[in-house]
Structures are given as structure tokens and as C-alpha cells.
Structure 1
Amino acid sequence: MSQREIQGVVVKIAGDKTASVLVERRVMHPRYHKVVKRFKKYLIHDEKNTLKEGDVVVAVECRPLSKTKSYRLKNVVVGAE
């Protein structure tokens, strides 16, 4: 079974070795048949504390690291300026 991957923007550094990532997905509205954006925030594990707000990152699913944290950093796609 493959691991789920998410890609999003770091919106907050949430404590030691943790970052909050906003993930956007586009879905078709069931009635109006228009593409709408849906957002969800995930906490991801950043072992080396290298992330900054504004980074675009990819995270992979892993075992639960805390009550709310089940993703770890895979790589940084675009760094913040």
C-alpha cells in the first residue's frame, strides 16, 4: 500500500519540530457544477526545524507521532523568499 502524499503551504510554525500546512483541493460543486476550493490544515513533523512560513512542501503519511500529527516532511518544493 502506498503512502498518501499532501502538498501545501506552511502557514505557521507550530512549536518545536512541527509546522502547520494548508492544503487546497478543487472539487466540483454538486448542484452548481462549478469548481470550488476546499482547504484543510495538517500538522507535519519537521525533524530538522528547517521550514519557514510560505514554503511549499510535500509531506507523506506516517504512523501517528502525536494526537494530531500523522505526516512527516518529505521535501521542500519552493522555499519562501
Structure 2
Amino acid sequence: MPKRVVIGRVKSDKMSKTRVVEIPRTVKHPKYGKYYRDRTTCYVHDENNESNEGDTVQIIESAPTSKKKRWNLVKVIEKSREVDVVAMRAARKQKELETESAEGAS
């Protein structure tokens, strides 16, 4: 059987060399016939840590790498454009502290 190739979105990148990828899909309700959104969560092996949270990635089915990992990263299709506001504020605050300490030393 050929290996499945799917496209999903990285939901977590907190583990080293592992990403949690969410694959959205629509499912028809068996009784009522209404379509609803569902998702599948996969653990993906990312050898070079090239993907980050929010990225759209292409993954391929593989032999088990660990207890939960059954997929490998093929490529990053699109990088995330989300802005990390907390990191920006921390960097700005750090820069202000550095300039204040430099002015105080002068």
C-alpha cells in the first residue's frame, strides 16, 4: 500500500524533534446528514526542528519512530505569520533596560 501524504497545521513545537500536527476534516453525521468539522492529531518526527507552531506542513506516513510517532515531516509549505506579542514585549523591555543601564554607566 502507498504511504499516505497529508497536509496539516503544527499545533505544538514544545518537544525536541517532535511536532503535534492537526489535520482538519469534515465528517457527515450518520443519522442527521449534517456536516461538521473534526480534527485528527498526529505526532510527527521533525529531525532538524525546521517547523514551528502555526506552520502548514506536509507529512507522510512512516514506520513507528516511538510510542506515538507514526509520521515524518516532508516539508514546510507555509510559515506562520502569527506574531508572538509576549516575546515582542519582552524583547522591547530588555532593550529598554539595556539602554537605561548604558545611560546610567555613562
TM interval, short-chain normalised? over 0.9
Q: What is the number of equivalent residue pairs in this alignment?
A: 81
Deviating 4+ runs (over 4 angstroms):
none
Identity of aligned pairs, percent?
A: 35
For residues 15-34 of structure 1, the aligned pairs below 5 Å read: 15-34=15-34
Partners of 1:32 and 1:14 lie apart in 2 by 39
| CA deviation map 1:20-51 (0-9, x unaligned) | 00111111111121111111211101111111
Counterpart of 2:79? 79
Per-residue CA shift, 1:36-69, capped at 9, x if unaligned?
1111211101111111110011100111000000
Aligned to 1:48: 48
Name the structure with the higher strand share.
1
Higher helix share: 2
- Matches of 2:24 and 2:37, distance apart in 1: 7
Aligned Cα RMSD in Å?
1.0
In structure 2, C-alpha distance between the alignment counterparts of 1:74 and 1:32, rounded to whole Å: 38
Structure 1 unaligned spans of 5+: none
Q: Which gives a bigger RCO, structure 1 or 2 (Cα 8 Å, sep 6+)?
A: 1
